Structure formats: structure tokens, C-alpha cells
Amino acid sequence: MSTVFDFSCIKFGLFTKLASEHYGSKLQHTNLVWCKIRIFLTWILPCFSTGYLILASIDRCLSTSKSQRIRSFSQIKIAHQMTCIPIILYSLISSHLLVYFNLRKRCSPTAGTYAFFLSLYSIVWTSLIPQISMFIFSLITYFNVRKSHQRLIHPIIQNRNRTDSQMIKITLVQVLYSFILLNIRTIYFSYSLLSTNIRKDNYRHAIESLILQISSFIFYFNFRRCINNIHTAEVKCVLFGVDTGSGVANLLDNTITWQSNGADDSELISINSWLTLEKLTNKTTYITAKNSLCHVTILIGGDEINKIVTIKFESTTDSEADYDEQVYKQYKAKDILYQVFKVFGISPISDFRKTTIIQQQVTKAIHLIRLAADEIITSPRTASKDLAKTVLTIDDTEQLLDDLKLLFRTSEYDEQVRLLTLAPSDWERVQTEKFFNCNQWQARKALELRESFGFLAKVTHFAGNFPIDPEIVKEIKNFYQDDGVTRQTSNKKE
């Protein structure tokens, strides 16, 4: 979005400026509507671009945070929801331009108080606040990246992290770039407004005209997004899989430096916890110890080369070490799932935050594994087999589930609710409805029943008994309170 408004700013602002100053167009200084529209658009289009640049800085800041909860806000879905904020915000706040710009000798703001306000507005709102915000978020991003140097990054996501790191660098450079170029124009514009009522000679007018042309060129040059070498390399790497490295496998700052000629006489490894590094260039490495010396097994073309290398440990706190170990376990588990899915031809999971899809894929993999096992295990069954150690085949499992569904369909209404309590404890109401083909009341009642009384609890209708008629209650009381009525008991002596 920032690029779209950059392009719009150049096309509209620069072309209308050239038409007015070099091609004799007087429309801006003779038509009040065009005067207001041009001033409004030339102000808010750069603001829109800057606003999206701020959002990009915030996104980079969130994506590099150590907190998983904070990183979860860096999503495409949330970014789409935030796209309308800069447009609405800057359009409303800059609406005063449509009111206080008028035609005098030329299209200019109302002199006096508003001119002073406009100069402060241009300095504070359109320059200082956005640039300081971007600087702060960029600074936080920088420190987050520095802290992340102590984390373990698994090689499976190494290329993705490398791309993110390059994009962070691009964002930081762009923030600094915009800060310098935009402020030059802002300073001149503020000076021009504040010196409107000052008498100036021709020499001073010439100097100001020269500064105006230079500042305008620099201002519009800011919105020309040049593709630098880093960005070009990243595009090649992402689109075509071109590796721009030169014999160096980089895990942020936990680097493993290999000799570029393929020799394996020395390796420098800097890590801070248990680590498994795989598929670095043409080598596979396993690090299997945690001390000053570490045993490394390098596989090259199927041949194992065992080495003892020195490890430089980073100073980390207990919480960071626990975090590193947790991250390592997660990525190791993802690696295992990836390999299993690859064997059975199951599509890999791109987003591990979608737990429902993970459960479905894992269930499918388990089903395929058990089918393969059923083809191999052909030993006859005996009646003396220990039931506690009985392994169900796929056919056994399906038959049991079909029989359970049949029992459910042939049972009475309350008994069906009782059977629904056998559903897995992590199932929600919708899952129970779909599996047993029941109504939502039964599924909800079964969840409440199991939570209150456990599995296979009977349904109790607490509100099913009708209240006694008050007249009957009154007659019973009168009967027992009447002195003329006596009761004979079986054990009473005559």
C-alpha cells in the first residue's frame, strides 16, 4: 500500500507541479475547487505512504518479539484489517486544508494564526510524530534482533528467517532514508509560511526559489523506491531458489562457518544449547553434547567424518535457556511430522498455528501406518491373549465405532444422551453432533452431564415433577391438626 501511494504522489504531485511552474498552467491559482483538491491530495498522499511505513515498522517490531503472544499479532489477516486506519485518520485530521486554503494572488493558506498553525502541523504531525514513531519501533526491532541472536533457529526455517532478517534491514534503511529526505522539505515549508509577511529582495527570492526546487526534488525522490542489491538478492532467492551465500550457513548470530572450498579441517560453531543442524550446504551435522568440547558427525556423500570441535557458549539466563530448549523441541517435532508426511504423501503443514489441520493430518498418518501394519501382522489370534495388551486393527476400530453408532441410533432419547458422554473429553459440541448425528441439545446436555457426574451418568429431570396442589396441602394440614381424628397403630395396646 505504501508503494501505491508513493506512485500516486509522484504522478499527481510532481506532474501538477511541473504543469503549473514550467508549462504555464494557471488552473491552481484561478480555480478554487482545484486549488483545494490539489493541496489536500498533495498533503495526504505522502501521509498515507508514511502511515503504511509506520505500520510496516510496527509489524517488523512485533514479528521479532520474544513473546509468542506478541508475535501472533504479526499476521496477514490483521494487516488487512489495519489498512484502512491511515486513510481514515489522515483524511479526517487533514480536512482543515479544504477550508482554510483560498485564492488570493495565488492558492495559499489564510494568513495569520492559521499559517502559524499549519507550520506547526507540518512539523509535528506530518514529520516529527511519524518519524519518531518509526525510529522507536525500528530501534525496538534492532534490539529484538540482537536478543534473538541467543535463540536457536532450526534449519528448516533458516531460509525464511534469513528473508525476514533482510526485510527488517530494508525497513530500517527505508525509515532512515525517509527521515532525512522528508524533513528537508518540511523545514523549508515551515520557513516559507512563517516568513510570508517579511519583505524580501530579489536576491533572497532567488535563493528561496533555488532551495524550493532542491527540496521539492529531494521530497519526491523519497517516494521513488529504489530496489537495492539486498532486495534484488532476496527476490532471486525467494522466487528462483538462488542461494546468495558463499559457503556460510547463518543462523542469525549463531553462525556455523564452513570453508568455501569444501575442506573440513576446521569449523567454528557458536551455540548456547542442544542443537541439531541439518542440510547445511552439502553437509549434515549432528551435535550431540553440551560442554566446551562437542562431538560433531558430518555426513558428506554418505561418509561419516567424526570431529571434536570447540564450542563458544553464549551467556544466557535460565529463562532464555528454557525458551531455547522449548523452541528446539517444537522444531524437532515439526521436522519429524514433516518427514512422516513426506513418506505417506501427505501435504506438509505450512502454518503450525492451525491445530485442527495438524490433528487431521496426524490422524490420517496414523491411519496409514496402522493399515501398513495390518498388512504385515498376519499372526492368528488366540482367546488367551491379554486384553490389556490387545492392539486393535483398523477393521476392529471401525467395527467398534459402527456398533457404537448403531447402539446410539436404537436407544431411547435419554439413553442416547448417556451414550454421548463417552465422546472424547476434548471434543466440542459440534464434533459430537457430527459424529453421532444427534441434535445440539443432546450434545450440550451430554457435555454438562459428563462434567457434573462423569461418564455414562444417567439423565435426571429435576424439573419433571409437578408441584402439589395448594388445596391438597391445606387439606393434609387440616387433617393432622384436627383433634377429633385419631390414628390407630398396629403396636398400640387395647
Structure confidence at residue 92 (pLDDT): 92
Structure confidence at residue 486 (pLDDT): 53
Structure confidence at residue 88 (pLDDT): 92
Q: Which domains does the chain have, with CATH numbers?
A: 2-238 (1.20.1070.10), 247-343 (no CATH), 390-486 (no CATH)
The pLDDT of 485-491, averaged and rounded, is: 52
Distances (CA, A) of 492 to 280, 294, 484, 485: 102, 98, 18, 16
Average pLDDT, the chain: 68
Structure confidence at residue 250 (pLDDT): 32
The pLDDT of 449-454, averaged and rounded, is: 86
- Residues 59-83 have pLDDT tens digits of 888 888 878 788 888 888 888 888 8
The pLDDT of 450-477, averaged and rounded, is: 76
Structure confidence at residue 255 (pLDDT): 32
Structure confidence at residue 390 (pLDDT): 55
Structure confidence at residue 374 (pLDDT): 74
Whether pLDDT at 54 is above 70 = yes
293-300 and 107-109: which strand pairing?
unpaired
Q: Are 12 and 42 in contact (CB under 8 A)?
A: yes
Whether pLDDT at 318 is above 60 = no
Structure confidence at residue 214 (pLDDT): 76
Q: Are 173 and 210 in contact (CB under 8 A)?
A: no
Q: Are 256 and 249 in contact (CB under 8 A)?
A: yes
Confidence bin at 244 (pLDDT 50/70/90)? very low
Confidence bin at 139 (pLDDT 50/70/90)? confident
Structure confidence at residue 260 (pLDDT): 30
Q: Which long-range contacts (CB under 8 A, 24 or more apart) does 401-406 make?
A: 405/436, 405/437
Whether pLDDT at 393 is above 80 = no
Cα(190)–Cα(228) distance, rounded to whole angstroms? 32
- For 72, residues 6+ apart whose C-beta sits below 8 A from its C-beta are 353
Q: Picking from 12-26, 362-376, 429-443, which range would have the lowest pLDDT averaged per residue?
A: 12-26
Distances (CA, A) of 30 to 26, 36, 56, 370: 6, 11, 40, 83
Structure confidence at residue 464 (pLDDT): 56
3-state helix, strand, coil in the chain (%, to 5): 60, 10, 30
pTM of the model as a whole: 0.42
Cα(141)–Cα(65) distance, rounded to whole angstroms? 8
Structure confidence at residue 207 (pLDDT): 79
